[in-house]
Amino acid sequence: MRTAICERLGVEFPLFAFSHCRDVVAAVTNAGGFGVLGAVAYSPERLDAELTWIDERVGGRPYGVDVLVPGRIDASALDLRAHLLDFVPDRHRDFVTHLLAKYGVNAPPQPLTAVADEFGRRVTGPGATALIDVALQHPIGLIASALGPPPPEMVAEAREAGVPVAALVGTVEHARRQVAAGADIVVAQGTEAGGHTGEISTMVLVPQVVDAVAPVPVLAAGGIASGRQMAAAMALGAEGVWCGSVWLTTEEAETSPALRRKLLAASSLDTVRSRSRTGKPARQLRSAWTEEWDSGQESPGPLGMPLQLLLAEGAMARIGVAADRGDAGALELVSYYVGQVVGQLDRVRPARDVVYEMISEFAAAVERLNGLTSS
């Protein structure tokens, strides 16, 4: 395909695949798309290893990294790491204990996932810089920042390395701010997307962002998991699409068996935008976890980010273990970030096949539009 994005990034088909799984990233890139590794939970050493693994498999084809660095790098947070969990109020700690007991989750506390371990490190100057440094030592074609405007340090380093910076936005206002902060590509993400998301739908948001930041290229995110949806996004003026949810049920994804079954069975009504997982509104599978936090009688209400994230990750690690051994209560609680397209995901496919089907359905959708208008 020929869009400005395709030429600038050397990608054949402007389908960007956001995934925490290196196998998905490599598979999509090798199929003609553009894999983007979500490095939120990685240490610099781990990130280096993952990117080396990808480099060895994609033969120079383009891929990128999403680092979720905070917009402002706070040097005073250096000593925060060890004490972050101490800031969680007893009420909230007790509510989680109560929830786990109520749903019979008796898996032992798991080593807190890398998220908790890394979060403190990354809000510090050296931590964030280390991640960006590692990413830029690899032949990446894009570096993305999922929360807030990219920090000036990141923009400066990426510029020097000749790597374009992408930034996710949910409003026109944020799009303008991101471009002013140096973003080379804007990802306009509608409310139907999984993860942290705003209120405006993709159909409404994308054309407004395209017009507001032109000639900066825009990728559309949210509600896109098929070739028809990709064609729709491009009709709105996007130069490509950014998909996350659709990869969760691919063969390559490291999705746990219990969660995968839940995703395959879910309808588009089964997601909710809730603060219960991270402290900020994030769309995820509706579950006993989101229901208890958001409408339970005894809920103390979610904390802010990052405390709610740490609390939730610790509990979710235990819930995941119990769910995978089939405990009924844990299966009710288990959840993950996913968009409304979850209702379309009904079978496990290789990531490569998802790309190929999108390419073919995209072509059919454009052809159908032509048939409607040709006289």
Q: Which is nearer to a copy of itself, 265 or 269 (CB)?
A: 269
C-alpha span between 18 and 246 (Å, rounded): 9
Say which DSSP state 294 is in.
H
Stretch that binds a copy of itself, among 89-97, 98-106, 291-299, 341-349 (CB under 8 A): 341-349
Of 23, 184, 192, 292, which lies in the binding site for a copy of itself, with binding defined by CB under 8 A?
192
Nearer to a copy of itself (CB atom), residue 43 or residue 271: 271
Q: Is 191 in the site for a copy of itself (CB under 8 A)?
A: yes
Query: Parallel, antiparallel, or unpaired for β 165-169 and 185-189?
Result: parallel
Strand 142-145 to 34-38 pairing: unpaired
Among 56, 90, 297, 372, binds a copy of itself (CB under 8 A): 372
Is residue 222 a contact point for a copy of itself (CB under 8 A)? yes
Nearest residue to 135 via CA among 48, 262, 250:
48
Residue 125 vs 237, nearer CB to a copy of itself: 237
34 by DSSP, 3-state: which?
Answer: strand
Q: Which is nearer to a copy of itself, 110 or 208 (CB)?
A: 208
DSSP assignment of 48-80: HHHHHHHHHHHTT--EEEE----SS--GGGGGT
* Residue choice 201, 251, 260, 317 for contact with a copy of itself (CB under 8 A): 201
Candidates 92-100, 104-112, 188-196, 292-300 — which segment interacts with a copy of itself by CB under 8 A?
188-196
Residue pair 188/206 in contact (Cβ under 8 Å)? The answer is yes
Residue 108 binds a copy of itself (CB under 8 A):
no
Alpha helical stretches, state H, the chain: 4-9, 22-30, 44-58, 90-102, 114-122, 125-136, 152-161, 172-180, 202-213, 227-235, 257-265, 288-295, 307-324, 328-333, 351-373
Residues 347-366 that bind a copy of itself (CB under 8 A): 362-363, 365-366
Dihedral angle of Cα 123, 42, 337, 358, to the nearest 10 degrees = 120
Is 214 one of the binding residues for a copy of itself (CB under 8 A)?
no
Our CB check for a copy of itself shows the closer of 76 and 374 to be 374
Residues 6+ positions from 130 with CB-CB distance below 8 Å: 44
Strand partners, 18: 36
Q: Is 204 in the site for a copy of itself (CB under 8 A)?
A: yes
Of positions 340, 345, 352, 354, contacts a copy of itself by CB under 8 A: 340
Positions touching a copy of itself (CB under 8 A) are 1-3, 171-172, 190-192, 199-205, 207-208, 222-224, 226, 228-229, 231-237, 267-269, 339-341, 343-344, 362-363, 365-366, 368-373, 375
